[in-house]
Amino acid sequence: MTSRNQQLFERAQRHIPGGVNSPVRAFRSVGGTPCFFQKGVGPKVQDADGKWYIDYVGSWGPMILGHAHPEVIAAVQAA
């Protein structure tokens, strides 16, 4: 059975060079398929197959407050 991550990667390759817009393209050289994350909470992210990971990279904001910080969500909703 094909995973949802694999399906999304195959679909993305038809629209985005390499199927991703980041250095994740390197997954091919180590025999893996990139994960497509659908959700983030605190230090964790969930992929399209429902598997949870600890986000050790945490760049672009989550590094400071984590994913889906309640105060950030409230500020965005109030804006």
Could you count the other beta carbons within 10 Å of the beta carbon of residue 78? 6
Is 76 found in the same domain as 55? Answer: yes
Is 75 found in the same domain as 41? Answer: yes
Q: Is the pLDDT of residue 8 over 90?
A: yes
Residue 67, domain extent: 37-79
| Secondary structure class of 50 (helix, strand, coil) | coil
pLDDT tens, position by position, 20-73: 777 666 666 777 778 889 999 999 999 999 999 998 887 766 777 888 889 999
Q: What is the pTM of this model?
A: 0.72
pLDDT of residue 3: 93
Is 44 found in the same domain as 30? Answer: no
Is 48 found in the same domain as 78? Answer: yes
How many structural domains compose the chain?
Answer: 2
Is 72 found in the same domain as 41? Answer: yes
